[in-house]
Amino acid sequence: QRDQRQSAQTNDMLGSPANMTEHAVRFVLSHSNISSAIIGFGDASHVDGAVTYLDAGPLPSDVIRMLGSLHSK
């Protein structure tokens, strides 16, 4: 139940689940201690999406703080 609640709160905070891939990639980009991430690509459009997310850059620091407070409960 806790995981479902946190997932719903995260979706409310960041947008629809369709954006979760973008948020996940940008979350990884937000942390300088993470040097690589394994991302599965099912087709070429997924690669294009990842490049778009890379160009968007890291998530804003206030979003990172909100996610941290949400998942530390």
CA angle 19, 64, 22 (to 5 degrees): 20
Q: Does pLDDT of 43 surpass 80?
A: yes
Asked whether the CA dihedral 8, 12, 15, 21 is positive or negative, the reply is negative
Q: Does pLDDT of 52 surpass 80?
A: yes
Mean predicted confidence (pLDDT) in 53-60: 89
What percent of the chain has a predicted confidence (pLDDT) above 90?
12
